[in-house]
Amino acid sequence: MQFIYKILGIVTILFALSACGGGSAPAKGKPASDSQSNLTTTENTGSSSESVPATTKEDASTTSTSSNTSTPAKNGMPIAVAKVTPTTASQGEAISFDGTKSSDSNGEITSYQWKEGDKILSRAASFTTLTLAVGTHNIILTVTDTDNETASTNVTVTIKSASAEALRLMKTGQGTIYKDFDDGFYKKGVTPDYSRDNDVVSDHITGLQWQDDPAAKNTKRTWEGAQTYCYKLKLDGGGWRLPTRKELMSLTYYTGVSPSIHPIFKNTAFSSDYYFTSTKKVKSNGDAWCVSFNIGIQISLYLTSENYVRCVRTSK
For residue 168, which amino acid is it?
Answer: R
**pLDDT for res 169:** 60
More confident position, 68 or 127? 127
Whole-angstrom CA distances from 313 to 27, 90, 201, 241, 286 are 116, 29, 11, 6, 25
Cα–Cα distance, 113 to 83 (Å, whole number): 14
Domain architecture of the chain: domains with CATH = 83-160 (2.60.40.10), 183-314 (3.10.100.10)
Q: What is the mean pLDDT of the chain?
A: 76
Chain segment 19-74, per-residue pLDDT in tens: 545 444 444 444 444 433 333 333 333 333 333 333 333 333 333 333 333 334 34
Contacts of 121 (CB under 8 A, 6+ apart): 97, 114, 115, 127, 129, 139
3-class secondary structure, 91: coil
What value does the mean pLDDT take over residues 279-285? 83
DSSP conformation class of 84: E
CA atoms within 13 A on the CB side of 301: 21
Higher-scoring residue by pLDDT: 126, 257: 126
47-61, 146-160, 260-274, range with greatest mean pLDDT: 146-160
pLDDT (mean) for 143-156: 95
Between CA 159 and CA 176 the distance in angstroms is: 27
- Report angle CA 153, 157, 158 to the nearest 5 degrees: 155
Cα–Cα nearest to 63, from 75, 52, 79: 52
CA pair distance 179, 122, nearest whole angstrom: 23
pLDDT exceeds cutoff 80 at 77? yes
What is the mean predicted confidence (pLDDT) over 213-222?
Answer: 95
Beta-strand pair 150-160/88-90: parallel
